[in-house]
C-alpha cells in the first residue's frame, strides 16, 4: 500500500515537472516568434507601434471602456442638462412647448412630497432621504469600526468570523430585503415573536405592513440599510487595520496606553484615509437609496394603507420616468440635478473637514 502511494506520488511529481517544462518551452517558442516578427517588421520599417506616442496607445486600450461610458454615462449626463430647460416635454412624440430656465426646478421644489411634506402624506422625499443618510451612515461607520477592531483582535477562528461578517456583501439586496420584510411581519414575524418572549406585548405590532407608524417603518429601513452595508465597510477597515505596523501597538503597550486611547489616537488616525473614503462613498450611496426601500415596501414606497410615504429622492425622480407621472423627463432631470448638487456640496464639506482630520 505504502509503495503504491509512493509510486503515485512519484508519477504526479514527474507529471508536474513535464507540465512545467512544457509551458516553459511554449514560452520560449512564443518569445522566439515575437522576436522574429519584430526583426522582420523593423527591417521593412513596418513597426508602427513604435511610431505612436505612449498616450495614443493608452487611449487605444482605454477606448472600449470609454465608448461604453460615453453612451451610457456621459451622454445621459449631458442630456439631462439639456432636458432640464425643455418646457412640457412629451416623451411619446418628442415635442416641447418652449424653453424655460428654472421652470422644471420650480416644479420639483414646490411639488408636494419632494421637500414640503404633503398634507396627506406627512413626509417628503428629501426629509426621508436626509433622515436615512444622517442616521444610517454615522451608525454604520462607527459600528463597522468597532466590529473590525474586535475582529482584528480575535485569534482563534479568525477567518471564520471574517467570512461570517462578509456574507451580507455577497447576498442579493432584494433577497435580504424580502427576508427582513418577513422577519418584521405583524403576525408570526420573528421580531414580534422575540419581543413577545422577552415580555413585551407585541401582539399586532406592525412594522412594515398596514398600521405601521412612520418611525417604525423608518427604523426597519435604517436597520436594514446598516446591516446590508456593514460587510463592505468592515472588509475595508479590517484590511487597512491589518496594514498598520505592529510596532505602533507595541510602543503604545509599553507606554501603558489604555485600549480606548489606542483606538482613538493610533488606529483611527492611521486608517483615517480609508474612513474618509468610506464616509464619502456611503453618504453618496445613502443619498441614492432606492432598491432597499423597494425591497421592503414595494414600488409605492409605503406600507399598505398608511398616510405617509417612505420614498427617497431617487424614487421621487423615478416616478417621472416609469411611475405614476411617466414621461415627464424634464422634471426628472431637474430632480437629478438637485440631488447632484446636494451630494456635491456635502462631499465638498467632507473634503474640507477631512483636511484637518485625515492623515495621509
Partner 1 sequence: MELRLENLTKIFTNKSGAETTAVDSLDITIESGTLVGLLGPSGCGKSTTLFMIAGLVKPTSGKIFFGDDDVTKLAPEKRGIGLVFQNYALYPHMTVYNNIIFPLENLDVPRDEAIERVKAMANLVGIGELLDRKPSQLSGGQQQRVAIARALVKKPRVLLLDEPLSNLDARLRLQMREEIKRIQRETGITTIFVTHDQEEAMSISDKMVVLDFGQEQQYAAPQSMYNNPGNLFVAKFLGNPPINTFEAEIKKGYLIINEQKFMKTKIADGLYDIGMRPENFRAGEEGFKVDVKDIFHIGRDTMIHFDFNGSNIRALVDSDDITTGQKTVNLTIKTERVYIFDKETGKVINHG
| Vertex 53: Cα angle to 47 and 56 (nearest 5) | 100
C-alpha–C-alpha distance, residues 336 and 323, integer Å: 16
Whether 291 and 173 have beta carbons less than 8 Å apart is answered as yes
CB of 180 to partner 1, least distance (A): 39
CB of 359 to partner 1, least distance (A): 4
C-alpha–C-alpha distance, residues 162 and 160, integer Å: 5
Compute the residue count for the chain. Answer: 360
Whether 300 and 319 have beta carbons less than 8 Å apart is answered as no
Q: Which residues of 252-268 are buried (b: 16+ CB within 10 A; e: fewer)?
A: beeeeeeeeebeeebbb
Cα R_g (the chain), whole angstroms = 29
Q: Which is nearer to partner 1, 194 or 253 (CB)?
A: 253
Q: Which is nearer to partner 1, 118 or 252 (CB)?
A: 252
Q: Which is nearer to partner 1, 130 or 262 (CB)?
A: 262
CB of 266 to partner 1, least distance (A): 6
Which grid coordinates are listed for 254?
A: 509599553
Enclosing H/E stretch for 87? strand 86-87
Whether 83 and 271 have beta carbons less than 8 Å apart is answered as no
Q: Which is nearer to partner 1, 94 or 245 (CB)?
A: 245
Q: Which is nearer to partner 1, 231 or 358 (CB)?
A: 358
CB of 351 to partner 1, least distance (A): 18
Which grid coordinates are listed for 220?
A: 426597519
CB of 258 to partner 1, least distance (A): 7
CB of 247 to partner 1, least distance (A): 4
CB of 244 to partner 1, least distance (A): 10
Q: Which is nearer to partner 1, 152 or 257 (CB)?
A: 257
Q: Which is nearer to partner 1, 51 or 155 (CB)?
A: 155
Burial of 336: CB neighbours in 10 Å, binned 0-12, 13-18, 19+: buried
Positive/negative CA dihedral, 124, 225, 195, 181: positive
Q: Where along the sequence are the contacts to partner 1 (CB under 8 A)?
A: 245, 247-248, 250-251, 253-258, 261, 265-266, 269-270, 272, 359
Q: Which is nearer to partner 1, 248 or 277 (CB)?
A: 248
Within 263-328, residue ranges assigned H as helices are: 268-270, 272-287, 291-297, 313-322
DSSP structure string for 197-235: HTT---TT--SSSTT--HHHHHHHHHHHHHHHHHHHHHH
CB of 243 to partner 1, least distance (A): 13
CB of 272 to partner 1, least distance (A): 8
Q: Which is nearer to partner 1, 119 or 256 (CB)?
A: 256
Amino acid at each position: 500500500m505504502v509503495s503504491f502511494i509512493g509510486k503515485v506520488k512519484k508519477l504526479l511529481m514527474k507529471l508536474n515537472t513535464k507540465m512545467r517544462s512544457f509551458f516553459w518551452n511554449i514560452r520560449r517558442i512564443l518569445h522566439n516568434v515575437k522576436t522574429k516578427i519584430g526583426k522582420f517588421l523593423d527591417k521593412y520599417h513596418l513597426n508602427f507601434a513604435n511610431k505612436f506616442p505612449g498616450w495614443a496607445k493608452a487611449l487605444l486600450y482605454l477606448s472600449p471602456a470609454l465608448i461604453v461610458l460615453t453612451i451610457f454615462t456621459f451622454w445621459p449626463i449631458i442630456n439631462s442638462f439639456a432636458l432640464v430647460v425643455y418646457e412640457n416635454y412629451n416623451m411619446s412624440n418628442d415635442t416641447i412647448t418652449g424653453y424655460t430656465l428654472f421652470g422644471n426646478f420650480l416644479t420639483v421644489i414646490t411639488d408636494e412630497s419632494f421637500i414640503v411634506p404633503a398634507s396627506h402624506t406627512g413626509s417628503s422625499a428629501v426629509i426621508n432621504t436626509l433622515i436615512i443618510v444622517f442616521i444610517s451612515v454615522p451608525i454604520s461607520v462607527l459600528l463597522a469600526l468597532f466590529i473590525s477592531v474586535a475582529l482584528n483582535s480575535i485569534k482563534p477562528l479568525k477567518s471564520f468570523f471574517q467570512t461570517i461578517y462578509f456574507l451580507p456583501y455577497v447576498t442579493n439586496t432584494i433577497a435580504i430585503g424580502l427576508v427582513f420584510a418577513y422577519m418584521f411581519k405583524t403576525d408570526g414575524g420573528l421580531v414580534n415573536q422575540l419581543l413577545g418572549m422577552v415580555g413585551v406585548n407585541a401582539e399586532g405590532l406592525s412594522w412594515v405592513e398596514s398600521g405601521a407608524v412612520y418611525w417604525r417603518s423608518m427604523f426597519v429601513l435604517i436597520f436594514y440599510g446598516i446591516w446590508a452595508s456593514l460587510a463592505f465597510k468592515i472588509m475595508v477597515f479590517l484590511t487597512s487595520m491589518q496594514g498598520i505596523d505592529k510596532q505602533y501597538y507595541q510602543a503604545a503597550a509599553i507606554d501603558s496606553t489604555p485600549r480606548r486611547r489606542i483606538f482613538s489616537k493610533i488606529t483611527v488616525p492611521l486608517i483615517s484615509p480609508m474612513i474618509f473614503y468610506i464616509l464619502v462613498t456611503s453618504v453618496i450611496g445613502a443619498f441614492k437609496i432606492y432598491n432597499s426601500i423597494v425591497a421592503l415596501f414595494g414600488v409605492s414606497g409605503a406600507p399598505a394603507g398608511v398616510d405617509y410615504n417612505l420614498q427617497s429622492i431617487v424614487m421621487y425622480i423615478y416616478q417621472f420616468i416609469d411611475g405614476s407621472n411617466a414621461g415627464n423627463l424634464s422634471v426628472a432631470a431637474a430632480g437629478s440635478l438637485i440631488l447632484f448638487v446636494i451630494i456635491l456640496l456635502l462631499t465638498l464639506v467632507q473634503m474640507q473637514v477631512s483636511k484637518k482630520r485625515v492623515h495621509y
